[in-house]
Amino acid sequence: MLLTVGLIAGCASRPAAMAPILSIVQVSRVSPVRTAAETTVPVDYRIDIENPLDHSVTLVSVEIETVGESGGYLMRRVRHRFSQVVPAHGSSSINLRAWVQPLQMTDSGQVVTAVMLRGTARFESEGSIVQSAFTKRLAQ
């Protein structure tokens, strides 16, 4: 009985690493806009990927979008395709650009209000597709 309890406790204490871990960083500022509110502007991002698995995975796509319409800008869902191999127990970074619509600007046209982004990354892992979701509040 004690052996069974010990095995269950040992299994429960180990973290389950089923998919890569992602984080996103905005690497450029939203450019000042002095035109119509419908104008979109480019913003650059970097996504950092950590692979805790015992085998390499290949990033095949990333989808990102803003959550709601209450932050500094609105980004409709965009999808980027990749073929980026992330080695076992390794890390990698990718850069991507998305076009956003500024929502809240200062008198000088700067976007300074934070936004909430969410995304999903899809990886090919040993013949199957694995998904990792991520969210991040990005300060401007």
Backbone torsions φ then ψ of 53, nearest 5 degrees: -80, 165
Query: Is residue 1 included in any domain, yes or no?
Result: no
What pLDDT shows up at residue 27?
A: 92
Backbone torsions φ then ψ of 131, nearest 5 degrees: -110, 145
Query: Is residue 42 included in any domain, yes or no?
Result: yes
Query: Is residue 117 included in any domain, yes or no?
Result: yes
Query: Is residue 53 included in any domain, yes or no?
Result: yes
Residue position matching structure tokens 């969210």: 135
Query: Is residue 50 included in any domain, yes or no?
Result: yes
How many independent structural domains does the chain possess?
A: 1
Encode the chain (140 residues) as per-residue pLDDT tens digits. 544 444 444 444 344 458 899 999 999 888 765 555 568 889 999 999 999 999 999 999 999 999 987 788 899 999 999 999 999 999 999 999 999 988 877 777 677 788 999 999 999 999 999 999 999 998 87
What pLDDT shows up at residue 6?
A: 47
Provide the CB-side half-sphere exposure for 23 (13 A, CA).
7
Domain of 49, CATH number, reads: 2.60.40.10
Query: Is residue 93 included in any domain, yes or no?
Result: yes
What pLDDT shows up at residue 34?
A: 58
What pLDDT shows up at residue 14?
A: 41
What pLDDT shows up at residue 15?
A: 44
DSSP string covering 24-90, please? Answer: EEE-SPPPP--S-TT--EEEEEEEEEE--SSS-EEEEEEEEEESTT-SSEE---EEEEEEEEE-TT-
Query: Is residue 11 included in any domain, yes or no?
Result: no
What pLDDT shows up at residue 102?
A: 87
Q: Which residue segment(s) compose the domain that 72 sits in?
A: 17-138
Query: Is residue 103 included in any domain, yes or no?
Result: yes
